[in-house]
Structure 1
Amino acid sequence: MRRVALSGLLGTAVEFYDFLVYGTIAALVFGDLFFPGADPAVGTIAAFGTFAAGYVARPLGGIIFGHFGDRLGRKSMMLLTMTLMGSGSFLIGVLPTYGTIGVWAPVLLVALRVVQGIAIGGEWGGATLMIVEHAEHSRSSRRGLWSSFTQLGGPLGSVISAGVVTLLSALPDGQFRTWGWRVPFLLSVVLLAVGLFVRLRVAESPLFTQAKREPLDRTPIVEVLRRPKPVLLAACVGIGAFTSQSLLTGFMISYAVGHGYSRPQVLTAVTVASCAALLVLPVASALSDRVGRRPVVLAGAVLSVVLAFPVLALVNSGSPGLLILALCLGLGVAQSTMYGPLGALLTEMFGTRVRYTGASLGYQAATLVGAGFSPMLASSLLAAYDGSSTPVSLLLCAGGAITALTVWRLRETHTDALDSAAPRAAVPSQARTSS
């Protein structure tokens, strides 16, 4: 279990490192380097547009790798997705800018983001399923706690990416724009090598090995979409966590720098908040093993709505200390409480033979809606409303509200057995007895 959990942690850390490095660098310099000549606000929106392109590709990756993961196995897909992610990030690090190759620079940037998005679309599902299914096979009653290792990769990747970018942002502006921004992308090769070394030593999921003896009549995606309700519920329940994550990391860097904070101050705040998340995530996940997934996720969603306006007010104060407090509350506490139990919850909503496809599709659809378009939408609203933070707070409220309302439509799953090969129906909580 420790080796499997470590493999999931490293995979998600690579995923979030790559994506958050891009979001951070996009907020700082990509508008000038890849979209020169545009109004600064338009350049930032365009840079976040390429950020969204990676998210648009994620559901496709969930379908592709989910299909082969449910057909061939979890382990081989985990190795392939990690390789594609790390390679895509490295290639962004050596990509010529607009000043060198013209319009091909943004075209290639978008293409590499799409490749990354497809790979990441299959990464989370494989890593999480391996952990949860191994925990079930070992008769562990702590599926939520074990699955939190995958979720911990998010703040860990954020800490690493923010730390690396913070160090490099101390360079003179000319050096950072010339070569400093490339270093974080090139360093992803190190995480890739460590992750592959660990994953090569992990055994295939025992639940998948058993369930594979029962052939599916249809392809996994067809089987899942025949009963789309679990996928829709899985997507909606994750929107709040991803909206908060996206707005309070990559977008917040651009927003806070525009409000007078220095880059090191903002990156330090993101790093401290991510460290707080490393503490809150396993606590929330372990608590969900005791009281259930629904109450914990609901508590995080309600807290996210309640804190939406106070968090932006603290950021607008101009105080570096209050900026740290704001991100610790919004990202380290509220978002982490929603996100911690999500891995166990989504895997428990599907049967073994379609679990990779179903959980991946639901999760990646949530990232697309919650995280993919939020920075671009928030940047557009800021430009339209003369820099007012109210639209950003309303976006945070909307994400938390969608998650809270969806939780009411879910039944509790933390005591369910996972050895069923058939797809599960995520029935409303009121129908729990009849189910």
Structure 2
Amino acid sequence: MTSPAGDRRSLHKAFAASLSGTALEWYDFAAYSVAAATIFGHLFFPSEDQLASTMAAFSTYAVGYLARPIGGFLFGRLGDVLGRKRILVMTLVLTGVATFLIGVLPTYETIGGFAAVLLVALRFAQGVGIGGEWGGAVLLSSEFGDPGKRGFWASAAQIGPPAGNLLANGVLAVLAALLTEDQFNSWGWRIAFLLSGALVGFGLWIRLKLEETPVFKQIQERGERSSAPISEVFRTERRALVAAVLIRVCPDVLYALFTVFVLTYVTTHTDLSRGAGLAAVMIGSAFQLILMPLFGALSDRVSRRKMYLFATIAAGIWPFVFFPMVSGGSFAMLAIGIVLALVIHAALYGPQAALVTEQFSPRLRYTGSSLAYTLAGVIGGAPAPLLFTALLAGFDTWLAIGAYLLATAVVTIIGVVLARDPDREEAAAMEPVR
């Protein structure tokens, strides 16, 4: 499907709106993730046991994932009933306001345990917003583009996480470099969260200027909107939902390991600093900005499922290479290891949006994709940092972490086997009349 009346400007606007919106929302999410791994433990969950503080902070990290299904159920349904654009404005505002409020939140030292309660509530709101964001952002760009190039156009939303992660890590790294440790821990970290106000304003400006997608307009014109998309997905597209959920599990765990937990690991089990870990993650994220659309485009030329299968196998193997690499405390080895891990993740995440969305029929695509994205997060991404921490503490070896990631790779391989290839006839039938 081409853009209406050959209007490639609309296609490019949709790509920019999808990328910028998800990047800004993932900036919010990534800022929290980095803070949870580094400073939130002693600010909101003080304890004489550093491990206990870190695990408590990672528990709030998991809350963001656990809240995603609510966003997926709520906004996914509305996206198939009301349209893509309107819902994406709502999700952006929700996530941005929650992040800004974290920046002004009193810590445990000021209001005691109530600080942790408020932090969890705001993290929950972040998760709800992100849960409704992804499915719509993917459709925003892919439904303006040619179905034969869905891998590339849908990758716009996939570039958002590394872009947001790079921006968040960069802001926190600069603040940590310019401020003393006491200043950073006292008030410097707040700046990263307060910046979200300006960033979300920019994202809203882009999205409010965009039209509804041609595919949703066609669904409206044909009177094919579902009145109960959630129940219809569970009733008629169960296999698609199971496949799409399992497809996402290993990439989520892989990303949590090499962008979140790795910051804890390098500071506790190597001679490297938190700054070294942040720098390595930033380098890897920078590579992903280029690799996401490249792998998405490649998946339009080769079998998307086969490409995903090989990348999943590589993901399951990589921890057994990475941890011995960094045992000597070399920053070069750390950077190479994280970069290659995120290259593998890009090979999965770049084509993932197209692979997930094409499992569902167009009239149920926002709901199905959102449910798959959020339910997979509960299984994979939500408990990952907490489980990594517990496994390392319990077994005192990285081998337990490697075995965990390998198990998730097996789960995702099952999802790839269950998944279907793109339905070209279905895509052609949804091409708008011009």
TM over 0.5: yes
| Greater CA drift, 234-243 or 390-399 | 390-399
* Identity across the alignment (%): 41
Give me the whole-angstrom Cα distance separating, in 1, the residues matched to 2:413 and 2:31: 30
Amino acid at match of 1:318: G
Is the Cα contact below 8 Å between 2:40 and 2:57 reproduced in 1?
yes
Residue 4 of structure 1 contacts residue 130 of structure 1 at CA under 8 Å; is this kept in 2? yes
Match of 1:303 among 314, 318, 335: 314
Q: 1:116 and 2:123 equivalent?
A: no
Matched, 1:195 2:203: yes
The AA in structure 1 aligned to 2:400 is P
Counterpart of 1:144 in structure 2 is 151
Does the Cα contact within 8 Å between 1:237 and 1:404 map onto a contact in 2? yes
The answer to whether the 8 Å contact 2:80/2:226 transfers is no
Measured after TM superposition, the shift of residue 366 of structure 1 is: 1.5
Q: Where does residue 277 of structure 1 map in the other structure?
A: 288
Correspondence list, 1:156-167, <5 A: 156-167=163-174
Deviation for aligned residue 1:141: 2.5
Contact 2:100 2:193 in 1 (8 A): yes
Q: Which residue of 2 aligns with 1:409?
A: 418
Distance 1:73 1:265, change over 3 A: same
Deviation, 1:18, is 1.2
**Structure 1 range deviating more: 240-249 or 278-287:** 278-287
Post-superposition offset of 1:188:
1.3
Following superposition, which runs of at least 4 residues in structure 1 exceed 4 angstroms of deviation? Answer: 215-218
CA shift, 1:217, in A, is 6.2
**C-alpha displacement at 1:409, in angstroms?**
2.1
Q: For the residues of structure 1 that align with 2:91 and 2:198, how far apart are their CA atoms?
A: 16
Aligned equivalent of 1:433? none
Secondary structure of 1:123 counterpart: helix
- Offset at residue 50 of structure 1 (A): 0.3
| Secondary structure in structure 1 of the residue aligned to 2:98 | helix
Q: Following the alignment from structure 2 to structure 1, what is the Cα–Cα distance between the partners of residues 426 and 379?
A: 30
1:55-83: CA deviation from partner (whole Å, max 9, x where unpaired): 00101100100111111111010001001
- Rounded to whole Å, the distance in 1 between the matches of 2:83 and 2:64 is 25
Q: Is the 8 A contact 1:300 1:338 kept in 2?
A: yes
Match of 1:239 in 2: 249
Q: Hey, what does 1:155 align to over in structure 2?
A: 162
Q: Indicate the residue corresponding to 1:432 in structure 2.
A: none
1:106 aligns with 2:113: no
Tell me which residue corresponds to 1:225: 234
Q: 2:324 aligns with which of 313, 325, 329?
A: 313
What's 2:183 paired with?
175
SS in 2 for 1:214: coil
Equivalent AA in structure 2 for residue 27 of structure 1: A
Partner Cα separation in structure 2 for residue 317 and residue 366 of structure 1: 35
Alignment partner of 1:33 out of 37, 40, 43: 43
> How many angstroms apart in 1 are the aligned matches of 2:173 and 2:359?
40
- The 3-state SS of whatever aligns with 2:301 is helix
In structure 1, runs of 5+ residues without a counterpart are 422-435
1:249-260 matches, within 5 Å, as 249-258=259-268, 259-260=270-271
Per-residue deviation, 1:280:
1.9
Please report the RMSD computed on the Cα atoms of aligned residues, expressed in angstroms: 1.5
Which residue is equivalent to 2:7? none
Which whole-Å deviations, capped at 9, do the CAs of 1:109-161 have from their partners, x for residues lacking one?
A: 000011111111000111101111111xxx46311111111101111111111
Deviation at 1:53, TM superposition (A): 0.4
The aligned length equals 416
**TM-score normalised by length of structure 2:** 0.93
Q: Does 1:323 align with 2:334?
A: yes
Partner of 1:286: 297
Q: Secondary structure at the match of 1:371?
A: coil
One-letter amino acid of the counterpart of residue 216, structure 2: F
2:192 to 184, 190, 203: 184
Cα shift at 1:292? 2.4
Return the match for 2:223 from 196, 214, 232.
214
Given that 1:23 and 1:251 are in contact with CA atoms closer than 8 Å, whether structure 2 keeps it comes out as no
Report how far residue 12 of structure 1 moved. Answer: 1.3
Note the C-alpha offset of 1:313.
Answer: 1.7
CA distance in 2, matches of 1:376, 1:416: 44
Instruction: String of CA shifts for 1:276-317, please: whole Å, max 9, x gaps.
Output: 212221121111101121012112101112212101222222
Matched, 1:394 2:426: no
Distance in 2 (CA, whole Å) between partners of 1:48 and 1:38 is 17
The offset of 1:215, in angstroms, is 4.5
- Checking the alignment, whether the CA contact within 8 Å between 1:284 and 1:296 is kept in structure 2 is no
Amino acid at match of 1:75: K
Q: Is the 8 A contact 1:244 1:399 kept in 2?
A: no
CA contact (8 A) 1:346 1:359 kept: yes
Which piece of structure 1 moves more, 406-415 or 274-283? 406-415
Tell whether the 8 Å contact from 2:77 to 2:366 is kept in structure 1 after alignment.
yes
Q: 1:380 to 1:416 in 2, by over 3 A?
A: farther
